[in-house]
Amino acid sequence: MSHNLFATFAERMRERGDADFITTHGGRGYSHREALAASARLAGALTVLGVTPGDRVAVQVDKSPEAILLYLACLRIGGVYLPLNTGYTGEEIRYFLTDAEPALFVCRPANAGEARTIAADTGCPTVESLGTASDGSLMEAAACAEPRDDIVARGEHDLAAILYTSGTTGRSKGAMLTHRNLGSNAATLVEAWHFGADDRLIHALPIFHTHGLFVACNVTLMAGSSMLFLPKFDADVIFEELPRGTVMMGVPTFYTRLVADDRLTPEVTANMRLFVSGSAPLTAETHQAFEAKTGHAILERYGMTETNMNLSNPYDGERRAGTVGMPLPGVEYRITDRDTHAPLPRGEIGMLEIRGPNVFAGYWRMPEKTREELLEDGFFVTGDLAMVDEHGYVHIVGRDKDLVISGGYNVYPKEVEQVIDELDGVHESAVIGLPHPDFGEGVTAVVVPEGDAHLDEVRVLDHLQGRLAKYKQPKRVFFVDSLPRNTMGKVQKNQLRQQFEDTYR
Residue 9 binds which entry of Mg ion, ligand ATP, none, CB below 5-8 Å type-dependent: none
Residue 433 binds which entry of ligand ATP, Mg ion, none, CB below 5-8 Å type-dependent: none
Q: According to CB under 6 A, which one of 47, 122, 269, 305 is a site residue for ligand ATP? A: 305
What SS3 string covers 200-258? EEEECCCCCCHHHHHHHHHHHHHHCCEEEECCCCCHHHHHHHHHHCCEEEECHHHHHHH
Residue 164 or 229 with smaller CB distance to Mg ion: 164
357 scored as a contact of ligand ATP (CB under 6 A): no
Residue 464 or 488 with smaller CB distance to ligand ATP: 488
C-alpha neighbours within 13 Å on the C-beta side of residue 279: 30
Residue 278 binds which entry of Mg ion, ligand ATP, none, CB below 5-8 Å type-dependent: ligand ATP
Residue 384 binds which entry of Mg ion, ligand ATP, none, CB below 5-8 Å type-dependent: ligand ATP
Min CB(411)–ligand ATP separation in Å:
18
Q: H/E element holding 435?
A: strand 426-436
185 scored as a contact of ligand ATP (CB under 6 A): no
End-to-end CA distance of the chain: give it in Å, rounded: 62
399 scored as a contact of ligand ATP (CB under 6 A): yes
Q: According to CB under 6 A, which one of 165, 246, 312, 323 is a site residue for ligand ATP? A: 165
Min CB(359)–Mg ion separation in Å:
13
Residue 155 binds which entry of ligand ATP, Mg ion, none, CB below 5-8 Å type-dependent: none
What angle separates helix 179-192 from helix 5-16, to the nearest 10 degrees? 40
Q: Enumerate residues 254-283 that contact ligand ATP by CB under 6 A.
A: 278-281
Q: List, in order, residues 6 or more apart from 73 with CB less than 8 Å away.
A: 39, 40, 42, 43, 45, 46, 79
Q: According to CB under 6 A, which one of 63, 148, 463, 490 is a site residue for ligand ATP? A: 490
Specify which residues 29 forms β-bridges with.
23
- Of 454, 442, 426, 418, give the one whose Cα is nearest residue 501: 442
360 scored as a contact of ligand ATP (CB under 6 A): no
Q: According to CB under 6 A, which one of 53, 167, 407, 484 is a site residue for ligand ATP? A: 167
Residue 49 or 175 with smaller CB distance to ligand ATP: 175
Residue 278 or 449 with smaller CB distance to ligand ATP: 278
* Nearest-angstrom CA–CA distance, 67 and 145: 17
Residue 294 or 305 with smaller CB distance to Mg ion: 305
Min CB(144)–ligand ATP separation in Å:
38
Summarize as ranges the residues that interact with Mg ion (CB under 5 A): 165
> Could you tell me what percentage of the chain is helix, strand and coil, using 3-state DSSP and rounding each to the nearest 5?
35, 25, 40
Residue 380 or 439 with smaller CB distance to Mg ion: 380
Residue 79 binds which entry of ligand ATP, Mg ion, none, CB below 5-8 Å type-dependent: none
Q: Return the SS3 of 277.
A: strand
- The size of the interface with ligand ATP (CB under 6 A), counted in residues, is 23
Burial class (CB in 10 A: 0-12, 13-18, 19+), 241: middle
Site stretch for ligand ATP (CB under 6 A), options 2-10, 165-173, 353-361, 439-447? 165-173
Q: According to CB under 6 A, which one of 31, 85, 122, 172 is a site residue for ligand ATP? A: 172
Q: DSSP for 17-68?
A: TTSEEEEETTS-EEEHHHHHHHHHHHHHHHHHTT--TT-EEEEE----HHHH
Residue 109 or 350 with smaller CB distance to Mg ion: 350
Length of the chain: 505
Residue 413 binds which entry of Mg ion, ligand ATP, none, CB below 5-8 Å type-dependent: none
Min CB(173)–ligand ATP separation in Å:
6
- Of 60, 62, 68, give the one whose Cα is nearest residue 29: 68
* Nearest-angstrom CA–CA distance, 321 and 393: 10
Task: Answer positive or negative: Cα dihedral of 222, 223, 224, 230.
Answer: negative
Going along 222-375, which residue ranges are E strands?
A: 226-229, 247-250, 274-277, 299-304, 308-312, 326-327, 332-336, 350-355
350 scored as a contact of ligand ATP (CB under 6 A): no
Residue 174 binds which entry of ligand ATP, Mg ion, none, CB below 5-8 Å type-dependent: none
Using DSSP bridges, classify how beta strands 350-355 and 174-178 pair: parallel, antiparallel or unpaired. Answer: unpaired
Residue 67 or 381 with smaller CB distance to Mg ion: 381
The contact set with ligand ATP (CB under 6 A) reads 165-170, 172, 278-281, 300, 302-305, 324, 382-384, 396, 399, 490
